[in-house]
Structure 1
Amino acid sequence: MKHKTFISDLSFSAISAGFIAVLVGYASAWAIVYQAAIAAGASQEMIDSWIWALGISMGLGCLGLSLYYKRPIIIAWSTPGAALLATTLSGNSIGEAIGIFVFVGVLTLLTGLSGWFDALTKRIPLPIASAMLAGILVQFGLNIFTSLQSDPLMVGIMLVTFLFAKRWLPRYAIVAVLIAGFICAYSFDLINLQQVRWSLAMPVWTWPEFNLSLLVGVGLPLFIVTMTSQNVPGIAILRSTGHNQAPVSPILSWTGGLNVLFAPFGAFTLNLAAITAAICASEEAHPDPDKRYIAGVFAGVFNILAGICGAAVVSLFAAFPVAMISALAGLALLGIIGASLQSTFEHPDYRDAALLTFLVTASGVSFFGIASAFWGITIGLGTLAISRIARA
């Protein structure tokens, strides 16, 4: 019976949303992960192992959790975490880096088992969470037009394709944009296939070494950055797209467990995705929210394929022009940006707090190594508390 339900829920739009999410994730952020691997002293074989570990672990997380909970649950690496590692790991051994990865995975597992993070996020009002989400995603919407300035013909064709497809083929608008972008990039000779390295990835085990000063100085900031800039927005995505009872604690537990299991092969940190999850949870994936989990399942399938094929897939994704990927991501996120802004300003009692949350998050400010999403939520909740005291 479950098999028949899955088959009946299949749709090309959801499958393509899963593919686009993986494409955007790898093409836009792998360079930062690569820099982190180099800073950790990884050899080329180890870097290929990082690709394998991240692809397989993210894929298993997406596929298993999306199938089990029937929601588009996307597990990804922490891009801000990778940026942190790229600036802090230099001069340390690869074993010590692996020790940090295991440590962060254990902390994530314990956080999930304790349930405190779930209880905390449930206290964040939806307008505040939506404002933070809109602040994170708005830059991707703006990137459509900065990309239009850098490559007006290709991005212009993609934009016009989107507008026409939204009118006559709304379910396949993003698929049409992807096809149009690929045809343009190929026709204009913008795809650099010379850098594609055709090889499969092989896992390489590295024994972890636990250096207390590094665990405190790098591991704890990595954990905090991942929780505040990735998991909080990831939960906001789930709840703002109709999944208000998202099982946060079990998801974090499984994420932490996968992180610990694959850390010795190079999975530096895993978390709930925000940007790519928004693509899979949007109306473009499927008009029925109950059938969007298919996008999460196929994001898992494509992640696993990316992990197995390793450097070939990563270099292939990197061969696409930056303007095409930026425009594709922005257009795929337009719907959820609009829905988040509507929810942000819908309730007058939350409007000031939500506006500040949106502005602080969108500004990209960072204090003490903690990303703007955390400060947006903090200032928004503080503003809300002061307004309630003033009315009391």
Structure 2
Amino acid sequence: MKRSVKRTDATSTRIPISAGIVASIVAFSAAFSIVIGGLEAAGASHTQAVSGLVILAVVSGAISVFMSWRTRMPLTAAWSTPGAALLMATPIVAGGWPVAVGAFVVCGILLAVTGFFPVVSRLVQRIPATLIQAMLAGILFPLVVAPVSAVASSPLTVAPILIVWLILNRFRPQWAILGALVTTLTVIGFHITSTGITFAPAEFIPRLEWTTPEFTLQACISLALPLYIVTMASQNIPGVAVMQSFGYTIPWRSPLALTGVGSALTAPLGGHAINLAAISAALIAGPEAGPHGRRWIAGMSAGGTSIMLGILSPGLATLILAGPAGVLPALAGVALLPTFVSAISQSFAIAAQRVPAALTFLVAASGISVLGLSSAFWALATGLVVRGVLTIGRPRGAHAPKATRDTP
């Protein structure tokens, strides 16, 4: 009997530990190339971008360990993948990388203030979700199209990545991105071998690089505000919903404040935003992660794994960036495709809001920059104005089109 009890206890611990490790590896594989690409698009050098990757993984992992231990719930933090995608689609702000870092600090402060003052969160939630998702879909559109261009220009190196991703999506969807990453590294390995590229040992050692932030009103409006809205709407709010769907009532204010403070403190070292985990949270909060009362161990395991991956990330980043043309956009594109599909479907879910959502999507996808403000800002502004024109002063439901054969 005692042996049976010990075996049960060991199993109830081993399962959540394994679930946390898998969740962290899958989440890291799906997004680290996007983070590198986003930081470099914002003006960071390679070493600054790697510094950001390291500090984001390590600090979000440490926050995950602390929150899971403190709350006894599988409550984890992660970097903002949609936020990194926003950086990839946004032109470099005037003033370059130091000004972008200043915008990251402002975003972190806004996230922390949202945790300390719930009224701010309620204001964000008043922005129609269809418009926020349409803005996100427009930001992601050029990135998810990139694999198409990449396979056309470099079929021999990009096609294997897409084929493996597609096959695994058919049979083992949860491993599709990890499989694409392994294939990408294999392609890069052949490329390095055939071209004779060499690396300095220092390129594989984690190193943090400080950037003193600079602040401009333009960057606050054009970058910090869209980054904050995307992070709140696409990560923090869904993250809470995921936890609630598995029977967890999380203390909203303190985790949000903690991740916001973490974001602000990591910004000078290259971190753009830290938030509550959303998609990866489902991997450690569900029944596959063990008994309900033991899943907090999965959160700690995921956090510890994230710290280790952060330490190893300079080597991965160095290898990825040494690859042939097209492999990084292809990997980032397939990693972002599920987020794009979710965003575009939610954008047009409500018939009465499809016109504002469509215009929001188109403006965001255009990549325009007017008066120094990014397309993300103008997309949301356009959507809100058009929605106001179409709805304000009209009876409730009067603006909704009647269902016809031509109306989807």
Question: TM-score, with normalisation over the residues of structure 1?
Answer: 0.71
Residue 115 of structure 1 pairs with residue 118 of structure 2: yes
Match of 2:27 among 18, 26, 30: 18
Q: Answer with 1 or 2: which has the greater Rg.
A: 2
Conservation of the 8 A alpha-carbon contact between 1:224 and 1:370: yes
Q: Give the Cα–Cα distance (whole angstroms) in 2 for the partners of residues 287 and 155 of structure 1.
A: 34
Which deviations, in whole Å up to 9, do the C-alpha atoms of 1:313-351 show, x marking residues without a partner? 543442234522211221122223222222222221111
Matches within 5 A, 1:147-296: 147-189=150-192, 194-198=198-202, 200-201=205-206, 218-238=215-235, 239=237, 243=241, 250-259=254-263, 261-262=265-266, 266-267=268-269, 270-272=272-274, 280=280
Distance 1:385 1:59, change over 3 A: same
Q: Retained in 2: the 8 A contact 1:181–1:324?
A: yes
Instruction: Name the CA distance, whole Å, in 2 between partners of 1:57 and 1:82.
Output: 27
Query: How far apart are the structure 2 equivalents of 1:82 and 1:59?
Result: 30
Residue matched to 1:75: 79
1:57 aligns to 2:48 (yes or no): no
Larger deviation, residues 114-123 vs 180-189: 180-189
Distance 2:240 2:176 in 1: 22
**Could you give the per-residue CA deviations for residues 14-60 of structure 1, whole angstroms, max 9, x where no partner exists?**
34322214531454245356x5479xxxxx8x998767645533443
Counterpart residue number, 2:96? 87
Structural RMSD (CA): 4.6
Structure 2 residue matching 1:320: 3-state secondary structure: coil
User: Which residue does the alignment assign to 1:94?
Assistant: none
For residue 15 of structure 2, what is the amino acid of its counterpart? I
2:133 and 2:343 in contact (8 A); partners too: yes
The answer (yes or no) to whether the contact 1:59–1:75 under 8 Å persists in 2 is no
- Report the AA paired with residue 155 of structure 1: V
Describe the superposition over 1:237-276 as per-residue Cα deviations: whole angstroms up to 9, x where unpaired.
234688277977545522342245456xx335542479xx
Contact 2:263 2:274 in 1 (8 A): no
Tell me which amino acid in the other structure corresponds to 2:226: S
Gaps of 5+ in 2: 1-8, 245-249, 290-294, 396-408
| 1:7 equivalent in alignment to 2:32 | no
Among residues 112, 127, 131, which one is paired with 1:128 in the alignment? 131
1:85 and 1:296 map into 2 onto residues whose CA distance is 40
The change in CA–CA distance for 1:188 and 1:231 in structure 2 (over 3 A counts) is: same
Indicate the larger mover: 243-252 or 342-351: 243-252
| 331-340 or 6-15, which deviates more | 6-15
- What is the alpha-carbon distance in structure 1 between the residues aligned to residue 196 and residue 275 of structure 2? 28
What is the CA distance between 1:224 and its match in structure 2?
Answer: 3.9
The alignment partner of 2:273 has SS state of strand
Aligned residue type for 1:343:
Q
Tell which deviates more after alignment, 68-77 or 10-19: 68-77
Q: Is the 8 A contact 2:57 2:79 kept in 1?
A: no
Partners of 1:128 and 1:377 within 8 A in 2:
yes
SS at match of 2:127: coil
TM-score normalised according to structure 2 size? 0.69
The structure-2 alpha-carbon separation of the partners of 1:240 and 1:55, relative to structure 1 and needing over 3 Å to count, comes to closer
**Aligned sequence identity (%):** 27
Alpha-carbon distance between aligned partners in 1 of 2:302 and 2:176, rounded to the nearest angstrom: 18
* Equivalent in 330, 336, 347 of residue 327 of structure 1: 330
Give ranges in structure 1 of 5+ residues lacking alignment: 39-43, 91-96, 209-213
Contact kept in structure 2, 1:73 and 1:293, CA below 8 Å = no
Change (3 A) 1:329 1:103: closer
Shift, 1:143, TM fit: 0.8
Q: Would the alpha carbon gap of residues 158 and 235 (structure 1) be closer, same or farther in structure 2, given more than 3 Å must change?
A: same
